[in-house]
Structure 1
């Protein structure tokens, strides 16, 4: 696998590479600029050559591949009956909210957090209750006192947990998960745990699935996962919801059918099986590449750009960058990087008020592209320093 190959993605219907401005390096949107595992390509080719792409269902092999993956990667036993389908995590959470909440209910999120959570909650007439993460000395932690207070509100129904957390890159420890679980049980809350990035964890850290962290949460929790972020196959639209609670699972599947979302993508099933059965060697290589890219970016920022502080991620292929010392925020900050450096980041303010002086950088690309983006940013900030001194 050539991880340094800068594959051309323009004119391929890529959301990430469809930016209208010329000569912009997109370091945004959480998909990778790496080709997928050869095993997945072979599976796609076999299915394409078959020549029939009719309605698709789930085979025993599909379920076995999912169960085996969780057993190997997380040493966790899951039951076939728990496995439910969704074309994506956000559609799945929308369906769950339609079952678990009523207009006016409160839903807790831990901001700055994956921004579709906000609109998903509001779509159902629910209130966004922010349990804002504590940020001190470049590290994030959970404000458990505030979480307890938000959970105790009589209209609070559930918590959407992001584990590992996007965008700050925290891997929650078993102790932290136990504390979250005890609060949820004390106040009769459901937990939807988005564990999309659970496979992308760096050395020295271990992702603990919520059920494993606290088995007593099994009947009041849903785990959301997918091969999409792990294996760069988001376009195949095949996500997995683990719903042990039978009553909730039946209601979820009934709603899913009512919305006409019950059929998987014909290529999505093949891609999932190939990823989980044969993709592990590719993933292990990817993790080494991401480790190198992460350290390269953090070292560069520390040596050349003291105004931009990279928050060391424990997981994900993203780096959350604190740009407070640049003296810009919101749209102005992102416009600066876009117009002066020709680098497109995900805007920090989309993740919540506490992200106004931050941007999110995607490091899942060849190092050559990362280096070019960093050098452009360096030049733009050097000019900015000069102009700011002149104005003073």
Structure 2
């Protein structure tokens, strides 16, 4: 059933991805087109049928079952056992990032990010009055460690936001790269905020490695079931605050100042992490298929994504912002590359988390458009 969804069915959805498509096929925002896992749907329906009152664990946050589920799942999948005492719950990864920046930095402090990067992170840095230090992804594949070392020292950087798997390039950082980042964090006394929300979406033979074991005293890990299980609207995220200084700073705030996820978000996330793996395995097989289709249809336009369901298309021969032309002329909605900061000009991000019929139509429109431009030029 996951692979049978067609465009008319999807066009009736009220969510932002399809509601704002304006007749185009949306392949922009990081939502999947697949229906949510049955265990998630079942637990939400049951909660709505029986009890939406205050949850039992609210009396003592240490009793929250999501904390134990996160710890157990991280240990089982990635061989790292987080300290339950450091786990804090937020409504989403962006909110958690803003909370960490709020307690760990001040206006004017420098925050480093591998670029191109996720636009809401760049906007957060700007809106909070912090200074962006771009760490360029060389050819979309890696970073220059020596240059990074010099830049961090010159700018007295306080925070590095590490997005792994990387958005938008789909890179999964290697053990060697993570070791280098940990060494740089220690050398420059930095906190690393590791956004690992796409960790479950890693393709063999690549292997996702959590960053916390590389520099536990300097790491805050952010994650959620929202990407791997298509649950963004439930608003539930985890911050694994291993860094003691950040943990103490957060605990000095009034307990509800930063809000908290609701019962349905917690229940849905719990169901996904404990019972959603069969669904995820099926989705990963479809994403792997779509990834191969994309590589075959657009050779030379992208590096093979190692993780995520996002691809970073090189369309520089079509102008500085090709996504606008593709939207207007090919009627496919992509994320414009310039939104992703330095290094984004001439690129566009494509979301390939959809069914075969939709993927085939997207690729048909894109290849036709690119071919026509090539002939014209």
TM-score scaled to structure 1, two decimals?
0.90
The CA deviation at 1:329 is 1.4
Q: Tell me, what secondary structure is at the counterpart of 2:48?
A: helix
Are residue 314 (structure 1) and residue 314 (structure 2) matched? no
Q: Distance in 1 between matches of 2:2 and 2:158?
A: 47
Q: CA separation in 2, counterparts of 1:275 and 1:72?
A: 15
Aligned equivalent of 1:340, options 310, 329, 343: 329
Greater displacement, 289-298 / 375-384: 375-384
Listed as ranges, the matches of 1:153-192 within 5 Å are 153=154, 155-192=156-193
- Secondary structure of 2:228's aligned partner: helix
Deviations 1:316-357 (A, max 9, x none): 01111111233x112xx1121001100000111111231111
Matched residue SS, 1:17: helix
Greater CA deviation, 58-67 or 217-226? 58-67
The DSSP-based 3-state class of the residue aligned with 2:18 is: coil
Is the CA contact 1:222–1:241 (under 8 Å) kept in the aligned structure 2? yes
What does residue 270 of structure 2 align with? 273
Choose the corresponding residue for 1:116, options 98, 109, 120. 120
In the alignment of these two chains, the number of paired residues is: 372
Partner of 1:62: 66
Check whether the contact 1:200–1:230 (CA below 8 A) recurs between aligned residues.
yes
| Residue of 278, 286, 302 corresponding to 2:283 | 286
Contact kept? 1:104, 1:155, Cα under 8 Å: no
Q: Counterparts of 1:115 and 1:340 in 2: how far apart (Å)?
A: 25
In the alignment, what sits opposite 2:100? 96
* Pair 1:127-2:135 in alignment: no
Contact 1:111–1:133 (CA under 8 A) maintained in structure 2: yes
Identify which range, 113-122 or 252-261, moves more after superposition: 252-261
Cα distance in 2, alignment partners of residues 335 and 53 from structure 1:
46
In structure 2, distance between residues paired with 1:218 and 1:181: 9
Aligned to 1:230: 228
Deviation at 1:360, TM superposition (A): 0.6
The question of whether the paired residues in 1 share the 8 Å contact of 2:320 and 2:345 is answered with yes
Q: Are the structure 2 counterparts of residues 371 and 12 from structure 1 closer, same or farther at C-alpha, using a change threshold of 3 Å?
A: closer
Cα distance in 2, alignment partners of residues 256 and 18 from structure 1:
38
Structure 2 counterpart of 1:81, from 64, 85, 95: 85
User: Residue 231 of structure 1: CA displacement?
Assistant: 0.5
TM-score (norm. length: structure 2): 0.93
Q: Is the 8 A contact 1:84 1:253 kept in 2?
A: no
- Residue 382 of structure 1: how far off its partner (Å): 3.4
Cα distance in structure 2, aligned partners of 1:343 and 1:70 = 37
Shift of the 37–108 alpha-carbon distance from structure 1 to 2, 3 Å rule, reads: same
Of residues 4-13 and 96-105 in structure 1, the stretch that sits farther from structure 2 once superposed is 4-13
294 and 191 in structure 1: CA distance in 2 versus 1, 3 angstrom threshold: same
1:231–1:314 CA distance, 2 compared to 1 (3 A): same
8 Å Cα contact 1:70/1:76 also seen in 2: yes
Match of 1:357 in 2: 346
* Partner-residue secondary structure (3-state), 1:271: helix
**Deviation of residue 5 (structure 1)?**
2.4
